[in-house]
Structure 1
C-alpha cells in the first residue's frame, strides 16, 4: 500500500526553484497514483494568485502546472487562511480551487499524512 504524502509549498513563485520543485514532485507522484495532498503556506499562497505577471519579473508562469494538479490526481489542495490574510489575498481570484484551513486544521491535516515534504 502506498504511503500518503503531503507537500507543503512555502515559497513565492519567484523566490527560487522551490515552488516549481514542489509542483514537480506533486505531478510526478500523481502520475504514479500516489495519495498526495498539497498545502500552500506562508509565501507559497502567492503561487495561487490569478493576478500574477511573471513575465514582468522574467520568470516562468506556474499557472499551467498548478492547473494540471487535478488532472494528475492531486485533488487534495489546501491553503492557509492566515497566510492569505497576512498577504492581503483572501478575496483575490485563485488559479485553482483550494480548501482554506485555519492553524488547528493544518495541524490535523499534517497528522493525517504518512510523509511530509516542505519546500
Structure 2
C-alpha cells in the first residue's frame, strides 16, 4: 500500500480581485479527489475568504461560501487560522462561514513540517 502524500495549502490572498482564492480551493478539491490528505491554512488577507455572507455581486464574482461548504464532503476538515490574524481584523469565529481550528502563529512552522507538500496562493 502506498502512503498518500499530504498537502498543506496556504491561503494568503483576498477572496476577490484575483483568481488565487478560487484556484486554491480548486486545487484542494482536486487533491482530495485523488485521496491526498489536504489541510488549509488561511493567513493574512486570506482570512477574508472565510467571512460569512459576502456579497461579491458588485464585482461580478461568485461567492466562495458554496465551495467552502463543500470541503467536508471532500474530507477536507483540517482548516486552520491564527488567533492573531482573527483578532487583527476584528472578527470572531462565528463571523466565519465554516468551522476552523485556531492555532498560534508560532505553530505554522510545525504545521508546514507535518505535510509532504506546501502550496501558497
TM-score of the pair, normalised by structure 2 = 0.91
Query: How far apart are the structure 2 equivalents of 1:37 and 1:95?
Result: 17
* 1:65 matched residue in structure 2: 67
1:73 Cα deviation after fit: 1.1
C-alpha distance after superposition, 1:17-73 (max 9, x if no partner): 000000000011111111110000111100111032111332211110011011011
Tell me the residue number matched to 2:20: 18
Over the aligned positions, Cα root-mean-square deviation in angstroms equals 1.3
Q: Which moved more, 1:109-118 or 1:52-61?
A: 52-61
> How much does 1:9 deviate?
0.6
Counterpart check, 1:104 vs 2:101: no
Say whether 1:36 aligns with 2:29.
no
Secondary structure, counterpart of 1:69 in structure 2: helix
**C-alpha separation between the residues in 2 aligned to 1:65 and 1:91?**
19
- Tell me, in whole angstroms, the C-alpha distance in 2 between the residues paired with 1:51 and 1:92: 12
Q: Output the TM-score relative to the length of structure 1.
A: 0.93
Rounded to whole Å, the distance in 2 between the matches of 1:70 and 1:110 is: 21
Partner of 1:79: helix, strand, or coil? strand
Stretches (4+) displaced over 2 A = none
Match among 55, 66, 91 for residue 57 of structure 2? 55
Match of 2:120?
118
